[in-house]
């Protein structure tokens, strides 16, 4: 007889050390957010009750990670902690060269300083903003080639992060000499945390081989992507996630990594590759800004914590819980008629704010309106991903972004199901108030990356 599974999702861990949450009233939050210029990045974190701003560096470490921290060896060169780290990385990603860095964008900066430059063109399924910025900072162009379904808010496609193979082929034919590498972001964060299939990765590899181009992974959420492959891709359901990850790695020539996501770190990252000359160039650049190649801007204890985090993130009990609990939030919002991006991604649920606050035009920033209201109502901090983030053009003009989303990113192993039930209740109340939410206007903004520091004013 097969065992009847229970439907309650339980966290596959119990709590070992707790952090207090500060309760505030709606009136207090109204004051805090006004003082922050209605910009949630400008809030003091202790004024936030449930912080869903990002899943990056905000996860809870395990007992065994804290124990590993005690083993951290702080030797400047050749620390044993470096070798523990490299072994853990290479168990999943067996690249020849593994170069630690302090976080993902440092790896991007080094890689594209080596490979980019004026006239170069870098294709990706969808560049994350720091990846795009680091490509463009060298004078190169960053091109997004995700499949058309990946640009739609709702779709049933199981791998909405896939690369558009025809478009990649066409780009490589047209710009054969200008493409230094092809990138694949797994999962596709900017496209809603959507996975890429093994079949698509194999096809991209084949195209890269035919054109003689190296393939690099932006692999921040590799374990979540591999779990989706196990769940959704034909013939993959019996495999170990670690084994799927090794196959993904074998299809690539290198990777950039933010270890603040799936590797369960509060800080860290790495750059890895097989090419000896490129590795030498990158290590030389690393020494200029990050540090000696056996620590790359991290402490020995950080390297130990990441090594342990890598062992934990590929555990099936963890990943089943992680993906189910994100879907639990997304499905509950759908059931209450709140428009969300579908399928639900791995690390976050994205509310379609343009649909929810449909009385506001994109230039009245519906995403900002919903994000501010979530904070005022329930102390929940989310992130606008829409016209505030992307609307400003290099010539100073302003256009509507393709979507106005509010991302509820779920930190790893940090909030319990009752915290999430509370989030659902706040969202439900918000949906009732949505038709009367005020729009916003920007009162001051910096020349670039304005969403971090712009100040706003409600249009009453």
Chain residues that interact with ligand F0G, rule: CB under 6 A: 54, 56, 103-105, 128, 130-131, 185, 189, 218, 220, 258, 260, 269
Looking at beta carbons, which residue is closest to ligand F0G?
Answer: 104
- Close Cβ partners of 310 (under 8 Å, ≥ 6 residues apart): 88, 89, 91, 92, 263, 264
Give me the least distance between CB of 218 and ligand F0G, in Å please. 5
Give me the least distance between CB of 356 and ligand F0G, in Å please. 21
Cα dihedral 147, 153, 156, 161 in deg (nearest 10):
40
- Rounded to an integer, what distance in angstroms lies between the CA atom of residue 348 and that of residue 127? 17
Choice between 260 and 392, CB closer to ligand F0G: 260
- Rounded to an integer, what distance in angstroms lies between the CA atom of residue 150 and that of residue 52? 23
- Close Cβ partners of 132 (under 8 Å, ≥ 6 residues apart): 142
Give me 88's structure tokens. Answer: 């853990």
């Amino acid at each position: 007889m097969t065992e009847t599974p229970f439907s309650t999702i339980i966290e596959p861990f119990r709590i070992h050390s707790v952090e207090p949450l500060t309760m505030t009233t709606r009136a207090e939050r109204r004051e805090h957010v006004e003082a922050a210029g209605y910009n949630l990045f400008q809030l003091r974190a202790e004024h936030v009750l449930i912080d869903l701003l990002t899943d990056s560096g905000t996860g809870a470490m395990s007992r065994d990670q804290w124990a590993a921290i005690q083993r951290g060896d702080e030797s400047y060169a050749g620390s044993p902690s470096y070798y523990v780290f490299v072994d853990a990385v290479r168990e999943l990603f067996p690249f020849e060269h593994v170069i630690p860095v302090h976080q993902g964008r440092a790896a991007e900066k080094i890689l594209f300083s080596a490979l980019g430059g004026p006239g170069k063109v870098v294709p990706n399924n969808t560049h994350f903003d720091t990846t795009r910025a680091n490509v463009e900072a060298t004078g190169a162009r960053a091109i997004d080639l995700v499949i058309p379904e990946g640009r739609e808010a709702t779709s049933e496609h199981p791998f909405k992060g896939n690369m558009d193979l025809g478009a990649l082929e066409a780009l490589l034919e047209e710009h054969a000499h200008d493409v230094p590498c092809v990138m694949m972001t797994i999962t596709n964060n900017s496209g809603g945390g959507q996975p890429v299939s093994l079949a698509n990765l194999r096809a991209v590899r084949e195209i890269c081989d035919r054109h003689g181009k190296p393939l690099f992974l932006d692999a921040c959420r590799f374990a979540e992507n591999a779990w989706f492959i196990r769940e959704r891709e034909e013939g993959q359901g019996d495999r170990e996630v670690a084994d799927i990850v090794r196959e993904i790695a074998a299809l690539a020539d290198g990777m950039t990594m933010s270890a603040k996501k799936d590797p369960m770190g509060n800080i860290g990252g790495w750059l890895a590759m097989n090419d000896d000359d490129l590795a030498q160039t990158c290590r030389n650049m690393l020494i200029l800004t990050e540090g000696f190649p056996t620590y790359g801007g991290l402490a020995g204890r950080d390297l130990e914590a990441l090594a342990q985090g890598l062992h934990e993130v590929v555990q099936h009990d963890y990943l089943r819980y992680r993906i189910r609990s994100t879907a639990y939030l997304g499905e509950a919002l759908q059931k209450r008629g709140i428009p969300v991006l579908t399928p639900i991604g791995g690390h976050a649920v994205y509310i379609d704010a343009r649909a929810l606050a449909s009385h506001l035009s994109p230039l009245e920033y519906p995403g900002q309106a919903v994000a501010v209201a979530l904070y005022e109502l329930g102390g929940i901090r989310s992130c606008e991903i829409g016209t505030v983030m992307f609307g400003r053009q290099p010539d100073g003009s302003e256009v509507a972004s393709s979507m106005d989303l509010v991302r509820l990113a779920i930190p790893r192993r940090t909030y319990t199901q009752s915290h999430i039930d509370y989030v659902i209740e706040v969202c439900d109340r918000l949906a009732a108030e949505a038709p009367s939410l005020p729009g916003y206007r920007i009162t001051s903004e910096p020349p670039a990356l304005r969403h971090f520091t712009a100040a706003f004013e409600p249009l009453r």
